Amino acid sequence: MSDLISSVFTVPLAARVHQQAEQFRRQYTDGQKAKQVYLNTLAVQAVNYYLQCIGIETDWEASHSANPVMQILLDVADLNIRHRGKLECRPILPNAQTCPVPVEAQSDRIGFVAVQLNESLTEATLLGFSPTLQTGRLMLRQLRSLDELPSYLHSLAPVNQAIVTLRQWLDEYFEAGWQAAEMLLFAQALSPAYSFRSAESDTDLSDPSTQTRGAKLIQLDGSPEPQTVALLVSLIPEEDVSSQASHVRVVLQVHPIGDQVYLPEGLELTILLEEGQIQQSVQARSTDDYIQKQLMGSFGERFSVNITLGNASYVESFVI
């Protein structure tokens, strides 16, 4: 342990924490993945306990580390700090000198905390933190003192919902939380409807040469049974993309994921114009394996998408 770390915090790992970790672990037959999820859960809960003790609001349920679907896709140990962003809580075992951070956990983070678990997994010690990551791993001797973490978090500007800039997708730049649709297709078993000809046009959406596609997993926690679906956005330029006057077709789809063949009945996809007016809406029936709407627009125009199911609602804002 480095003498540069002036303050640490040790958390006893209660039975309820292990019960939660075990509940997640049982979902995986692959031993390495099961261990990864178990240790990640312990680390996140240790940081969650510490932050609650010092009066910082957290929302673990909104974190990817609490989402079984995201656990399958990613090695993440994030903890959502209300109004600030995601803090990555990486577990390490005794005698480690560095703390590796997977690629998928390196972006869209406000900081990184190294959490050392003892051999019996009865305690977790928060060693310190780093606001940034330079080399793909945390060097324990270079961590900032845990004493500085509260003031650092309070110094961060409140997070406002970002507007997704679709034009950047043409340069293969996707905002945090979004990824190329092909990446999601590769990582997750999605419904066969991902390869189809649009019912609303003659554009073949299965042909990657005609469009750019981004995808995002959406969790609807307020519904009677929490549901996770995939939002797929296809961007299809109709003219020369170098022209500011070019028009773009935007096709929006919602798909079930994993073992789900059909969307939940009553799930609704609504497109809202910049003024808040509803442009169009579609609702899933019991036998729909996807729903779709599209609009035509020009670069610079804005719109929003609202996905609802029961009392659950998710809104994403875009600029073409």
Which residue do the tokens 């800039």 mark?
A: 165
pLDDT of residue 153: 94
Examine residue 4 and state whether it is found in any structural domain, yes or no: no
Domain count along the chain: 2
**Cα distances (angstroms) measured from residue 200 to each of 150, 197, 236, 299:** 52, 9, 14, 22
Examine residue 43 and state whether it is found in any structural domain, yes or no: yes
- Clarify whether residues 194 and 287 are in a common domain: yes
Model confidence at 181: pLDDT above 90: no
- Clarify whether residues 143 and 171 are in a common domain: no
Of 155, 173, 194, the position where a domain reaches its end is 155
Examine residue 20 and state whether it is found in any structural domain, yes or no: yes
Model confidence at 249: pLDDT above 60: yes
- Clarify whether residues 218 and 238 are in a common domain: yes
Query: Model confidence over 260-306: pLDDT tens digits?
Result: 889 999 999 999 886 566 788 999 999 999 999 999 988 888 898 99
- Clarify whether residues 193 and 277 are in a common domain: yes
- Clarify whether residues 249 and 128 are in a common domain: no
Model confidence at 208: pLDDT above 60: no
pLDDT of residue 193: 44
Examine residue 146 and state whether it is found in any structural domain, yes or no: yes
The amino acid occupying position 315 is V
- Clarify whether residues 245 and 135 are in a common domain: no
Model confidence at 149: pLDDT above 80: yes
- Mean per-residue pLDDT, 73-92: 92
What are φ and ψ of residue 76, in 5° steps?
Answer: -130, 150
| Residue ranges making up the domain that contains 178 | 163-319
How far is residue 46's CA from residue 320's CA, in Å, rounded to a whole number? 41
Model confidence at 3: pLDDT above 70: no
* DSSP assignment string, the chain: --TT----EEEE--HHHHHHHHHHHTT-SSHHHHHHHHHHHHHHHHHHHHHHHTT--B-GGGSGGG-HHHHHH----EEEETTTEEEEEEEE-TT-SEEE--GGGTSS-SEEEEEEEPTTSSEEEEEEEES--SSSEEEGGGPBPGGGHHHHHHHSPPP-PPEEEGGGGGGT---TT-EEHHHHHHHS-B-GGGS-B-TTSS-BTT-GGG-EEEEEEEEETTSSS-EEEEEEEEEEESS-TTSTT-EEEEEEEEE-BTT--SPPTT-EEEEEETTS-EEEEEE--TT-S-EEEEEEEETT-EEEEEEEETTEEEEEEEE-
- Clarify whether residues 207 and 294 are in a common domain: yes
- The CATH number of whichever domain residue 46 belongs to comes to 3.40.210
List the structure tokens of 202.
């003659």
Among residues of the chain, what percentage have pLDDT more than 90?
Answer: 49
Mean pLDDT score of the chain, rounded to an integer?
A: 84
- Clarify whether residues 310 and 256 are in a common domain: yes
- Clarify whether residues 172 and 286 are in a common domain: yes
Residues with Cβ within 8 Å of 32's Cβ and at least 6 positions away in sequence, in order, are: none
Query: Model confidence over 100-113: pLDDT tens digits?
Result: 999 889 877 999 99
Confidence of residue 183 (pLDDT cuts 50, 70, 90): low
pLDDT of residue 2: 41
- Mean per-residue pLDDT, 27-47: 96
Examine residue 2 and state whether it is found in any structural domain, yes or no: no
Cβ(297)–Cβ(271) below 8 Å:
no
**CB atoms inside a 10 Å sphere around CB 185:** 16
- Clarify whether residues 66 and 123 are in a common domain: yes
The amino acid occupying position 234 is S
How far is residue 172's CA from residue 180's CA, in Å, rounded to a whole number? 8
Which residue do the tokens 């935007």 mark?
A: 250
Examine residue 1 and state whether it is found in any structural domain, yes or no: no
pLDDT of residue 196: 39
Of 155, 173, 204, the position where a domain reaches its end is 155
How far is residue 129's CA from residue 115's CA, in Å, rounded to a whole number? 9
Of 120, 155, 190, the position where a domain reaches its end is 155
Confidence of residue 191 (pLDDT cuts 50, 70, 90): very low
Model confidence at 316: pLDDT above 70: yes
Exposed, middle or buried: residue 198 (CB in 10 Å: 0-12, 13-18, 19+)? middle
- Clarify whether residues 141 and 268 are in a common domain: no
How far is residue 254's CA from residue 161's CA, in Å, rounded to a whole number? 21
List the structure tokens of 185.
């297709």
Among residues of the chain, what percentage have pLDDT more than 70?
Answer: 82
* DSSP assignment string, 137-155: EEEGGGPBPGGGHHHHHHH
Confidence of residue 47 (pLDDT cuts 50, 70, 90): very high
Examine residue 139 and state whether it is found in any structural domain, yes or no: yes
How far is residue 261's CA from residue 259's CA, in Å, rounded to a whole number? 6
- Clarify whether residues 306 and 198 are in a common domain: yes
Examine residue 3 and state whether it is found in any structural domain, yes or no: no
